[in-house]
């Protein structure tokens, strides 16, 4: 057993878990944060993407124990102060989701893309960057559009913050 202490969406959490417990299972089963999904068992689909210390991570590839001491953000912690995150709003405005199963991972990957590459993302970059996220419903067309729009909005926010 391992004692893990993880800050999840700004709240300190701790638990004793089996050594083999994956971060995604810690989030879903121990913390009841079921917005993070499991779509495969080979770290291909990206439905489980969360942010660990600000970086996108497939939470099925990381042990909960490895995340101990880290700051983890899940889809449930993305919206703030009663307002949707611009990336969430962009998925809504651009019909970037259908069944919704891959969506949390897509949004977390989209936000991470902007954090790493800045708000000016063209279609080619977005498509290449999405190679770790699979969607079976949308054909990606509107996901690409959503991320571009979300990035633009995030850019406005960054500009405001800089001023």
Partner 1 sequence: MGIEGIGARVLRKEDKRFITGAGRYTDDHKIAGMHFAAFVRSPHAYAKIKKINIKEASKMSGVAGIFNGKELTGDGIGNIICGWMVHSKDGSPMNMGAWSALATEYVRYVGDAVAVVIAESLEEAQAAAEAVEVDYKVLKAVVTAEQAMGLKAPQLHPEAKNNVIFDWEIGEEDATDAAFAKAANVVELDIRNNRLVPNPMEPRSALVQYDAAEDHFTLHTTSQNPHVARLVLSAFYQVAPENKLRVIAPDVGGGFGAKIYIYPEEIVCLWAAKRAGVAAVKWTADRSESFLTDAHGRDHFSKAKMAFDKNNKITGFKIETLANLGAYMSLFSSSVPTYLYATLLSGQYNIPNIHCNVKTVYTNTVPVDAYRGAGRPEATYLVERMMTTAARQLGVDPAELRRNNFIQEFPHQTPVIMAYDAGDFGASLDAAMAEIKYSDFEKRRKKSAKNGMLRGIGMSCYIEACGIAPSAAVGSLGAGVGLWESAEVRVNPVGTVEVLTGSHSHGQGHETTFAQLVTERFGLPKDNVQIVHGDTDKVQFGMGTYGSRSGAVGMSAIEKALDKVEAKAKKIAAHMLEAAEGDIEIKDGEVMVKGTDKKLGWHEVCLGAYTGHNLPEGMEPGLKEGAFYDPTNFTFPAGCYICEVEVDPNTGVTTIEKFVAADDFGKIINPMIVEGQVHGGLAQGIGQAMMENAVYDDDGQLLSASYMDYTMPRADNLPNFHVSTTETLCPGNPLGIKGCGEAGAIGSPPAVINAITDAIGHNNLTMPASPQNVWAAINDGGMAEAAE
Q: Contact residues for partner 1 (CB under 8 A)?
A: 18, 28, 32-42, 44-45, 47, 74-76, 78-79, 84, 88, 91-93, 95, 97-104, 107, 123, 126-128, 130-131, 133-144
Round to whole Å and give the CA distance between 60 and 67. 12
Bridge partners (DSSP) of residue 15 are 4
Rounded to a whole number of angstroms, the minimum distance from the CB of residue 43 to partner 1 is 9
Cβ burial of 150 (10 Å; 0-12, 13-18, 19+) is buried
Round to whole Å and give the CA distance between 27 and 39. 15
Task: Give whichever of 82 and 163 is closer to partner 1, judged by the CB atom.
Answer: 82
Rounded to a whole number of angstroms, the minimum distance from the CB of residue 93 to partner 1 is 7
Rounded to a whole number of angstroms, the minimum distance from the CB of residue 149 to partner 1 is 13
Round to whole Å and give the CA distance between 67 and 71. 8
Task: Give whichever of 21 and 70 is closer to partner 1, judged by the CB atom.
Answer: 21
Task: Give whichever of 34 and 69 is closer to partner 1, judged by the CB atom.
Answer: 34
Task: Give whichever of 124 and 160 is closer to partner 1, judged by the CB atom.
Answer: 124
Q: Report the half-sphere exposure of 73 (CA within 13 A, side-chain side).
A: 16
């Amino acid at each position: 057993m391992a004692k893990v202490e993880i800050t999840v969406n700004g709240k300190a959490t701790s638990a004793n878990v089996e050594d083999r417990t994956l971060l995604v299972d810690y989030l879903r089963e121990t913390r009841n944060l079921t917005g993070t999904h499991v779509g495969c068992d080979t770290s291909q689909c990206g439905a489980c993407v969360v942010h660990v210390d600000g970086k996108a991570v497939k939470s099925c590839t990381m042990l909960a124990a490895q995340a101990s001491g880290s700051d983890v953000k899940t889809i449930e912690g993305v919206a703030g102060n009663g307002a949707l995150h611009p990336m969430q709003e962009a998925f809504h405005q651009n019909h970037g989701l259908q069944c919704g199963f891959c969506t949390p991972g897509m949004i977390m990957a989209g936000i991470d893309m902007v954090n790493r590459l800045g708000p000016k993302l063209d279609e080619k970059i977005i498509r290449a960057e999405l190679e770790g996220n699979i969607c079976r419903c949308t054909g990606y067309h509107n996901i690409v559009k959503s991320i571009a729009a979300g990035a633009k909005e995030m850019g406005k926010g960054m500009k405001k913050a800089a001023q």
